[in-house]
């Protein structure tokens, strides 16, 4: 599809200004004073002013056309409003599923420098999960699945269920982004920045790039992931 054809599929910007405003049940994003609706026709109302301002800034940044691909926080908010409020148990189960195959639990077997870096940096996060939340994880060298303690997975799911809809939505998104419930919980708590969590999730890729360099495709992918990591960091900060 040509660039021109893609633009024709995107709605034109129809408003002059986007801003956040207090409403009865939170803070709404408003476009020329009117609140946009989600795909399920729910108003775009957020629990904090900071989150509403973050999302309003995405709408304000649109130029001639509204490009949803450039609005990750808005998309996540719509998910929280339309889906997570109705499927909290399923979403908490998704977070627990990432804990069941957490990326930090699968270590390289060689080279020694990578093994030591993973043990040091990933091990510190497993120590944090145990100290902060009482979560004990098994780890293994290689990629063969290692079952995690049932009590740990139950605790992760229970913890996820204590979160409000927007924090739960962000936690599930972060777990998928990082391939790790541990890193998602750490960013949610402010223990790590989103970029630092992304770097930890890509530790083996970063190590290989240090040794052999990085091609353009890998660099572009890393940059795209960094945008999402920065967004989820700001999302959690706006909810605190």
Residue 68 has pLDDT above 80, yes or no: yes
Residue 112 has pLDDT above 70, yes or no: yes
Q: What's this model's pTM, rounded to 2 decimal places?
A: 0.93
Mean pLDDT, the chain, whole residue set:
94
The DSSP annotation for 35-77 comes to: --B-TTS-B-EESSHHHHHHHHHHHHH--SB--GGG-HHHHHH
The confidence score (pLDDT) of residue 1 equals: 47
C-alpha distances (whole Å) from 21 to each of 17, 51, 58, 72, 223 are 12, 11, 15, 20, 32
pLDDT (tens digit per residue) in 114-147: 999 999 999 999 999 999 999 999 999 888 888 9
Q: What is residue 143's predicted lDDT score, i.e. its pLDDT? A: 82
Looking at the DSSP assignment, which residues form a beta bridge with residue 117? none
For residue 8, what pLDDT band results from cuts at 50, 70 and 90?
Answer: low
Using DSSP, state whether 162 is helix, strand or coil: coil
pLDDT for 213 equals 83
Q: How confident is residue 59, by pLDDT bands cut at 50, 70 and 90?
A: very high
CB-CB contact of 66 with 160 (8 Å): no
In DSSP terms, 12 is beta-bridged to 65
What is the spatial distance between Cα 126 and Cα 122, in angstroms, rounded to a whole number? 6
């Amino acid at each position: 599809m040509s660039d021109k054809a893609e633009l024709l599929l995107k709605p034109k910007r129809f408003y002059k200004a986007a801003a956040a405003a207090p409403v009865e049940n939170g803070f709404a994003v408003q476009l020329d004073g009117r609140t946009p609706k989600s795909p399920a026709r729910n108003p775009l109302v957020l629990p904090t002013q900071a989150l509403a301002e973050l999302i309003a800034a995405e709408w304000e940044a649109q130029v001639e056309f509204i490009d949803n691909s450039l609005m990750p926080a808005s998309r996540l908010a719509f998910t929280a409003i339309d889906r997570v409020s109705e499927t909290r148990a399923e979403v908490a189960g998704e977070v627990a599923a990432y804990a069941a195959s957490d990326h930090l639990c699968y270590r390289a077997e060689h080279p020694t420098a990578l093994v030591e870096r993973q043990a040091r940096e990933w091990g510190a996060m497993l120590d944090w999960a145990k100290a902060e939340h009482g979560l004990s994880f098994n780890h293994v060298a290689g990629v063969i699945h290692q079952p995690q303690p049932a009590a740990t997975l139950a605790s992760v799911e229970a913890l996820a269920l204590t979160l409000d809809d927007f924090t739960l939505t962000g936690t599930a998104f972060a777990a998928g982004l990082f391939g790790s419930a541990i890193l998602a919980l750490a960013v949610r708590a402010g223990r790590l920045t989103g970029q630092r969590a992304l770097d930890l999730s890509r530790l083996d890729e970063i190590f290989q790039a240090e040794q052999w360099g990085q091609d353009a495709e890998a660099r572009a992918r890393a940059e795209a992931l960094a945008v999402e990591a920065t967004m989820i960091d700001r999302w959690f900060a706006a909810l605190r």
